[in-house]
Amino acid sequence: MVDTKVKEALDHVRAGAQELHGTISDAAAKRGGAVKADLEAVGQKAKAVAESVKSSIDTQNEAAKKLLAEAATHIEAVQKHAAEGLKSTGHAFEASVRQTLAGARASVQKVSEAVAAMRSAESTKTRK
Amino acid sequence: MHNYIAVVFDDTSKAYEGLHTLWQLDSDGEVTVHGTTVVHRDDWGQYQVDTKETHPALATAVGVGVGVLLGALAGPAGAAVGAAGGAAIGAATGGVVGLTADLPRADTRDQAAVETRFVLGAGQSAVIADVSEDWTSPIDTRMRSLGGTVYRRSWSALRDDAWFDDNIASYLYPYEYIPPRYPRD
């Protein structure tokens, strides 16, 4: 059986990544668009999610580890684009918001696939 | 198994019940849901997809992306319909229906229907989802109990379609998103 703490850690990472996407997608969808305060908040959330992803990688199975490593790469891109957005204006700012959103979406996908890999491994063990 | 599914319901409220149930199955660990959206077809045959986007160009991009995915779900003939018809899928944002264009020709739609039987009829709504499932019965059973019909294509089969691109998943929300205009219960 998969350790409950390992499962909870991954669920926590996923919830954080989903929240990150929710924050940036809500900001991007606002009439008038996102503002710098939104990107600042996203950058801080992304930092927290990146830390939780990195701390959970070693406890997972190989398939989940690989997916979490890919998620970590996407979250680093989110941090980079959010930071760039804070220094830009106009179209460049809007481009940073879109890139931040795309990175956040890609990171949730990878974390979610890691959750699926963990659940599938657990299910296989249970059936044996 | 990594699959894309479309669950067709006769009305919108049932579709949102289906959406909620799908995410509940995820919370219970029965399946893992990577992303979802809800598509409607109105009484005049026009498609709308629910999105947060308020900017017309971005909302249209969502409509085109989901249109391609719907076409891909309908199989090889449907892939061509979906790509051509992507622009025909508007995005409903804040109760406002987005851009629409001509629907695909009826004979092409009929061909897609014969091949896969995935058709969203006028007045119907569908939950579109990207899921990982070890067996299909949890989703099939729960959706059938709500009056939904499940259509399924594997992620690997979709990837082989010429129209598929990796950005498709990005048009699906990675959590339960219900637009504010729809009641939650």
- pLDDT tens digit string along B10-27? 999 999 999 999 999 999
How far, rounded to the nearest angstrom, does the alpha carbon of residue B65 sit from its chain's CA centroid? 11
- CB contact, 8 Å: B32 with chain A? yes
Residue B172: what are its φ and ψ, rounded to 5°?
-100, 140
Is residue B82 situated within a structural domain?
A: yes
Q: What is the pLDDT of residue B84?
A: 46
The answer to whether residue B185 is domain-embedded is no
Cβ contacts of B53 on chain A, cutoff 8 Å:
28-29
Of A28, A31, A113, the CB nearest to B34: A113
- Tell me if A115 and B55 make a contact (CB, 8 A cut-off): no
Residue B76 has pLDDT above 80, yes or no: no
CA quadruple B3, B158, B47, B90: dihedral sign = positive
Q: State pLDDT tens for residues B158-168.
A: 777 656 667 77
Total count of domains within chain B: 1
- Range of weakest confidence among A12-21, B38-47, B127-136: B38-47
- How does pLDDT run across B57-68, given as a tens digit for each residue? 777 778 777 877
DSSP secondary structure of B113-132: HHHH-----TT-EEEEEEEE
| Residue at B183 is within a domain | no
Fold adopted by A4-127: Four Helix Bundle (Hemerythrin (Met), subunit A) (1.20.120)
Residue B130 maps to a domain: yes
Is residue B65 less than 8 Å (CB to CB) from chain A?
A: no
Q: pLDDT band at residue B98, thresholds of 50, 70 and 90? A: very low
Residues from chain B that touch A115, judged by Cβ atoms under 8 A, are 32
* % of chain A beyond a pLDDT of 90: 69
Residue B181 lies in a domain: no
Among residues B182, B173, B146, B142, which one has the least CA distance to residue B35?
B173
Interface touch A26/B52, C-beta < 8 Å: yes
ipTM over 0.90: yes
The pLDDT value recorded for residue B184 is 64
Inform me whether the pLDDT recorded for A31 exceeds 80.
no
A112: distance to nearest CA of chain B, Å? 6
Please check whether residue B47 lies inside any domain of the structure. yes
- Residue B21 to chain A, least CA–CA distance (Å): 18
**pLDDT confidence of B111, banded at 50, 70, 90?**
very low
A107: chain B residues, CB-CB within 8 Å: none
Mean pLDDT of all residues in A81-102:
93
pTM given for the model:
0.86
Q: What pLDDT is recorded for position A125? A: 72
**Could you tell me the residue range of the domain that residue B51 belongs to?**
2-171
Radius of gyration of chain B (CA): 15
Q: How many CA atoms are closer than 13 Å to the CA of B38, on its beta-carbon side?
A: 26
Task: Please judge whether B53 and A29 are an interchain contact, meaning their C-beta atoms are less than 8 angstroms apart.
Answer: yes
Our CA-based measurement puts residue B178 at a distance from the nearest CA of chain A, in whole angstroms, of: 12
